[in-house]
Each structure stands twice: as C-alpha cells, then as structure tokens.
Structure 1
Amino acid sequence: MPSKRKVELAVLALCLNKLNVKKKKKRRAEWVKEWLLDRDKHTHINLLSELRTYPSDFHNYMRMDDETYHTLLEMVTPLIEKQDTKMRRSINPHERLIRYLATGRTYEDLKFTTCISPQALSKIIPETCRAIYQVLAPQYLKFPTTEAEWKEIAKNFEERWQFPNCLGAVDGKHVAISPPPNSGSYFYNYKGFHSLVLMAIANANYELIYVHFGTNGRVSDGGVLGCTEFYSKLKQGTLNLPQISDNGLPYAFISDEAFALREDFLKPFNVRVLNDHRRIFNYRLSRARRVVENVFGILVSRFAVLKSRICLQLDNIDAVVMACCVLHNFLRTNVSHQYTPPGSFDMEDPDTHEIQNGVRAGESNIAPLASGQTRNSSEGAKRVRDLFVDYFNNEGSVAWQNRLAGLSDSEH
C-alpha cells in the first residue's frame, strides 16, 4: 500500500492540475439576435408615429397626448441621451421613454415591442425613471415652505371641501414587491404580502405635495410616518406652519384612524365614543380626506406597474414609484382633462352632496395601512379636535351634513 505521504502528494498534484486546466468558455451563438439589430424596423416607435393621427389611441397608449409627451421628452433628453460608438448605435431618448410604468410588463415581454434586450431594459428603465423624477420634482412636487403657501392649501380645502385650516390630507399605502433574497419577514405586512410603504400628503386639488417611499411593510403605521423627514420637521416645529386663524381654529393636517392624534394632526373619533356631534366631525373629516385616497386610486389606475408585485431591486422600485408620483402631478397640471376626465375621482352630487364613486381600476392592489390602535393622546390634541367639533356643529355647519352623517335634523 502507498504511504500516507505519497497519497497526499498525489492529491496535491491532482488539485494543481485542475487549477491549471483552463475552463472552456461557452461560445455565444451570436453577439445579438438579428431581429434586435433591426430595431428601426420592428420597434414600437413606428406604431407611435402612426398613432399621432389618432389622438385618443395615442393617449391610451402613452397615458398623455402627443404634445405633452414631447414636452416630457425634451425635459429628460439631456439626462438619458447616449452617444453612438463604433460598435453600435445608441438607444435614443425617444426609444427610452418606454411604456413600462403604464403597463407593468416584464422586461422579457417588453423586448418584443421595444426591440431592446431585457439586460439593456434593466438599466434603461430605472435610469429613465430617475431622470423623470429629477427634472419634474422641482416644479411639480414642491413642498410648501412659507406660511403663505400653507394658507393657500388651507383656503382651497375650505372652498372645495368646507374643511377650514386643513394643510393636507395624509395617508399611506402598501406597494407589493418581490422581497430580496434572505429578507425573511422584514417586508411582510399585516395584509399577508411583502411591501414597501408609500406615504403621501395631498392638497385639495388631488395633487401630491409630499411623498415618502421605502419603509418596509412590517413597520407599524405610526412608525412609517415617524420615518419621514416631514414628521421630524413637524415635531421640531420647523415647517413654517401658520398659527390660529380668524375663525379661532389652529391649522392641522388630517388623516384616518391609523395615525396618532396631535394638535397639528386630526383623526376621526373611535366608533366607541361617538355621539351626534362627533359623527358630524367624522363625516366632515372623511369628506375632505377622501382626496388622498382618490390620488392613490388614480395612480394605480393610470400606472399599471403598481397593480401587481414589482420584481425589481429595492432602489429601482423606489425610482419607479417616485416617477409615477411626480408624473401624476405633471399630468394633473398639464392635461388634467385627459389624465383625470370626469368620473375619475369620487365626486359629490351637487344637489344631494352624496358621494358618487369614481370609475377606477385596480385600486385594491395598493393596500391601506392597518387601522390604528387606541392611543393616549395629549389633552392639547383633544382640545384642538373638540374645537373643530364645535365649529362644524355651529357656525361651520353645512345644510346636508346631518343627513349624510346618518342623523336627522331632529336628532341634531
């Protein structure tokens, strides 16, 4: 039998021999598929050119009209334009504005209409989304910084929704994602799926004035808000909010029961402590807060990428969702009659003031935050809410509120 030393040397020689043997590289059958090389012939850009003679079809395809599309294209071109090389022609900005946000189709599926490989799409789409946010956000997602700007928002809420001193409607929604490997239950929410939370503040005109995205779905509702820069500044008192107005009421944000009651943050009364006056308050608050729920509904209806689980890297998901948010404001400002035609939002009957639900598809795919638990609110916060209760039941009352709050005139 060979000695132990000889066996060891034989094993060592075998290992060294394997290291010296170069692995044969699998030869690629072709550098690129022929039909992808013929992008000019097969690309969806040709269809887009044809659709210009059919404005309604162009709008359905791109979620905006031709003029608005080219305005957006001009704005993002400097950020996404690439140079041709000796090896190949670059993918131009016109080809990079892909319908991914409008459809949510996979990269493998999109390659057949764009004639761009999935590998290239995985770089192009996040890059384009970041460019859209970068060029649009300064103008179309402006957070108020002065008392005058906050008062303008409050004025619009009072004129449109008869809720005075409202600085914005706050809500959060869970956006379904495919979690990263080995993340366990870190992103798993109470609804039973993995998500990241979109926290937003809307004005009275269904526009977003603040957006925060990226908190993992497992975090509690209060924790989600606490992760935002907005809430940090709210607690520090550095938002330049106006103080008491002529009607004797302070200025405040409005939310649902998922959030904590504060002197500058109003929420409904729990059903267990309701009386007639508090029912009126809950109705009036719910009526004004509906705007942010409508915004989420429109986002999902117009940007189908939000309808199902987003299977991208986390930072790319952030780019996609933020691009959807800023595009919402951009389209609301420039082509609101096309982007949100009559019937898109929940509207009130002008005679009965009853709510008529808007026609939107897929809202349920963005799940709401969990209902909040009963918390011990400060006495100051309770006093502020009681001021609004008193106001809505006296000088601030409207003729239809008793009926729509479930009360008869004799009960009030």
Structure 2
Amino acid sequence: MNKNRKITIVTAALCLITSLKAWKKKRTQQRKPKQWWIRPGLRNRCTSGFYSTLRSKLVSQDPKWLKNFLRMTMEDFDFLVARLTPHIYKLNTRFREAISVGERLAVTLRYLATGDSFSSLMSVFLLGKTTICHVVHNTCSAIFKALKDEFLKVPNTHEEWTEIAECFYQRWNFPNCCGALDGKHIAIQAPANCGSEYFNYKKYNSIVLMAMVDADYKFLFVEVGAYGRESDGGVFARCALSTALAENSLNFPPAKSLPHESDEMPFVIVADDVFPLKTYLMKPFSFRNQVMSFKIFNYRLSRARNVVENVFGICASRFRILRRPMDVTPEHATVIVLAICVLHNYLLIRKSIYI
C-alpha cells in the first residue's frame, strides 16, 4: 500500500512539473519581443512636446490660455516646482534624459484639470502612457506631502477657532460656528472582486471625501477613502475628526454668549440632518411642523453650511477629473483627491482665481 502511494505521488509530481514546463514554454513563445526602447512618435519630446515648445510661447503671447491649461498662473506653477523638486527630482542617466520636475507637474495638473485618459495626454506631452501613469501618481503624492503642513492644517488653538467663528458670523450671520461639515462621493471605477463595497445609493461606485471648511472656502480637515455604500454620518463616526471633537483634543474655545444674548452657547460645527446632534455638531430642526423661529434658524444654518457645498463645486469646476469616474485604483484615487484639496487651499491662499 505504501509503495503504491509513493508511486502515485511521484507520478503526480512528474505530471505537474511537465505541465509547468509546457506552460512556461508556451508563454515564452507568445511573448512578443520589444520593438523599441522609445516609441518613434515620442522621440521628439524635447523639441516638439508641450512643455518644451508651446509653454514658452504661451508665457509671452497668451498667458490666459496657459492659465486655463494648467489651472494656475506661471508664478504659482514655478513656486510649486521649487517645493516639489526635493521630492520628485530625477537624475539623468546614460540611456536617457530624465523628465524634469516642471514637466511632471504640468502633466499632473493637466490630468487633474481635464480627467483625460493617459492615452490622450500621451499625444500632448509625447510621453508613454505607462510613464504618465507613474508620473501622475507620484506627483500627486508629492504635492500632498510637500504642502499639507502649510496649506492644510487643522486649527489647534482658541485664537484660531475664534477667528474662524468671527468670520462665519460676519459673512454668514451664524455665531459660534467653527466650520461647515459634509461628505462628497467621488466616482471611481471599482476594482475587481470588490462586490458592492463601493456601490452607493446613487447607483455608481465611489469613495467618500469627508471635509470641514471655514468661511473663506478653505479646507480645514479632509479624510478620503471610505466605501461609497456608507452614509456621511457613518463615515464621520469613524473618522479622526469625530474622535478629536469628542475628546476635545482640538482645543475648541469655551462657551460664549451669542450676540445680544446673555446665555452662553458652545462653539459648534454645522452639518446637514444626516449627521448626529452633538454639543459640538449642530444640525437643522426637523422639517415637520415647523414654527417660524425654527424656519429662521434652519435658514441661517443652511447659509453657513452651504459653504462646504460651494467648496466642492469650486474644486470640481477647477479640476474636472472630479466630474467623471476615475479609472484608477481606490488607493490612487485617494491620493489624487488629497492632492486636489491641498492645491485648492494653496491657490486660494495665493489668490489665484480660475475663470
């Protein structure tokens, strides 16, 4: 019995080895040899590509067109190049010249501005499709890493929160408000074998951007990557901001009396009715059997809360990739959205208005 079992095992092993060798040989025969190191149509990038030819002409002849192409002025572009150089600079080799930091940034900004496919951008910048894919993902990651500490910082002192609340009161007539909170679904192409995790109530696959903004349309906090099937309230319950607010680790200022009132009221963040009511989170009254005072309160709260909706609209208008499904993995989509958020704050602080 043992002898027959050994013979069976050896025979099975020999069959497996033979099958693996045949599969490897067949795969090697089917693999086509590489035809070229650089595609013939892309070999003139240094003399015919956008960054080396059209850019220099547009700077002097039509800067408005260039601003529309890159979604920022050349001054803002050059500042970004200087900030990103330590992160994405590459050295030339004996085989080929490295892609410059400016060209990497231009490719990334054009991708964010239009949402065009990598094949479409290949004909503009004369770079390979795979190269553009790597350039975009690496540059977006570098943008967020280089700018987040300066342009996407959560306030952490009483003075900073009080200044934001004063701005909300002056602009939107809502006192003791430290921010507006909401979530946005970013459409993506769902990865294989993910089931319904990214499938949301709007019948498309998405990831969730949870954001809090101030009265000047700047992001104060962003968190990206939650499944599209989750509600905004559920995403907020598990995000870092919810924990920080519950533990009061953000140093919210103490309660303060409202204008023309003597009663002290806590500082709050305004949100819509899908969020829970907390001492630090204010939502509107129920829409059933409202009296006039409730309607006035809801109107004022809606004015303050609409700031975050406006920010989402501004970002989607400047960076049109947010208006179409991203054909990338959820991890890469998360990095792209984070880069867009920090770029929005950067351009807003530098007063670079896109028209």
The TM-score normalised by the length of structure 2 is 0.89
Supply the distance in 2 between the matched residues of 1:119 and 1:313 (Cα, whole angstroms). 15
1:88 aligns with 2:110: no
Q: Does 1:290 align with 2:310?
A: no
From 18, 21, 28, the counterpart of 1:19? 21
What residue in structure 2 maps to residue 157 of structure 1? 168
The answer for the alignment partner of 1:344 in structure 2 is none
1:310 to 306, 309, 326: 326
| Greater fraction of residues in helix | 2
Q: In the TM superposition, what whole-angstrom CA distance separates every residue of 1:318-362 from its partner, at most 9, and x where no partner exists?
A: 1110110010011111124x23x6xxxxxxxxxxxxxxxxxxxxx
Match of 1:31 among 22, 34, 37: 37
Superposition pairs of residues 10-409 of structure 1, within 5 angstroms: 16=18, 19=21, 22=25, 23-24=28-29, 25-45=31-51, 46-53=53-60, 54-97=62-105, 98=107, 99-247=110-258, 248-336=264-352, 338-339=353-354
Stretches of structure 1 that go unaligned for 5 or more consecutive residues are 342-412
Give the match's secondary structure for 1:142.
coil
Runs of 5+ consecutive residues of structure 2 not aligned to the other structure: 1-6, 259-263
Q: Provide, for residues 184-231 of structure 1, a one-character-per-residue CA deviation record: whole Å limited to 9, x for no partner.
A: 101110111111000111100011111111100111222110121110
- For 1:100 and 1:221, locate their aligned partners in 2 and report how far apart those are by CA, in whole Å: 28
For 2:245 and 2:324, the matched residues in 1 are separated by 33
- Comparing 34-43 with 110-119, greater Cα deviation is found at 34-43
C-alpha separation between the residues in 2 aligned to 1:160 and 1:224? 29
Identity level (%): 39
Deviation at 1:18, TM superposition (A): 7.7
What TM-score does the superposition give when structure 1 sets the normalisation length?
0.77
Distance 1:249 1:37, change over 3 A: same
Query: Once the 2 structures are TM-superposed, how far is the Cα of residue 32 of structure 1 from its aligned partner?
Result: 2.0
Q: CA shift at 1:16, angstroms?
A: 3.6
The RMSD of aligned alpha carbons is: 2.0
Q: Confirm or deny: 8 A CA contact 1:64 1:335 kept in the other structure.
A: no
AA matched with 2:187:
A
The answer to whether the 8 A contact 1:215-1:227 is kept is: no
How much has 1:262 moved relative to structure 2?
1.0
Write the letter of the residue equivalent to 2:328: L
1:121 deviates by 1.3
Deviation per residue, 1:107-139 (Å, 9 max, x gap) = 111111111111111111010001111111111
Distance 2:16 2:333 in 1: 48
Cα distance in 1, alignment partners of residues 304 and 19 from structure 2? 76
Q: In 2, Cα distance between the equivalents of 1:71 and 1:31?
A: 34
